[in-house]
Chain A
Amino acid sequence: MSNPSFDRIQTEITENPVMLYMKGNAMFPQCGFSARVVQILTHMGVPFKTANVLEDAGLRDGIKSFSNWPTIPQLYVKGEFVGGCDIITEMFQSGELTTLLAEKGIPHEVTA
């Protein structure tokens, strides 16, 4: 746990119920995979915070070690790693994401 970005990450995922590590920001995603997760969260009306890994090389490497996950984006809900783009997309399509958000008490619009 000597990675200097780990403290920052731990604080962010603790303080923000839905925290997305991505390339770019919610307004201007700089990668299609990051854009897709933003689109899903926005569509579901979920309030979320983002961190742009392109602005911080330490964070970009740090989040990969922290989660033991080699790619960006990465979504954390209530401090727990939920997955990257493929998993979020699959969970959205199957309805599991709605269930997870409800279980964790995250506000979201209920969609059919």
Chain B
Amino acid sequence: MAMAASEIEALIKTALPDARITIEDLAGDGDHYAAAVVSETFRGKSRVQQHQIVFAALRGRMGGELHALALQTSAPD
């Protein structure tokens, strides 16, 4: 069920090579993460669109084996 933080990061990096990613394992159980993702791809997009890009990068794992990923997305300042 659980997923390693490094695996989450790798999947996001593949889809968004420029992304700066910070992942925090909230409960220490490999199942509840918080991720902050900063990428130029997000510029001019709504929050919903930004999150959908990350979900697409995670290729269906979100909502499945990855139960809880609190997500914060933004474009670089």
Contact = CB atoms under 8 A, between A and B. Distances in A.
Interface of A: 33, 64, 68-71, 81-87, 90-91
B60 A82 contact: no
Contacts of B68: 33
B48 A87 contact: yes
Contacts, number: 31
Interface of B: 47-48, 51-52, 55, 60, 62-64, 68, 70-72
A83 B46 CA distance: 10
Given A69-B55, A70-B55, A90-B72, A83 B48 contact: yes
A71 B72 contact: no
A64 B63 contact: yes
A70 B62 contact: yes
Contacts of B70: 85-86
Given A70-B60, A90-B72, A83 B55 contact: no
Contacts of A85: 70
Contacts of B62: 70-71
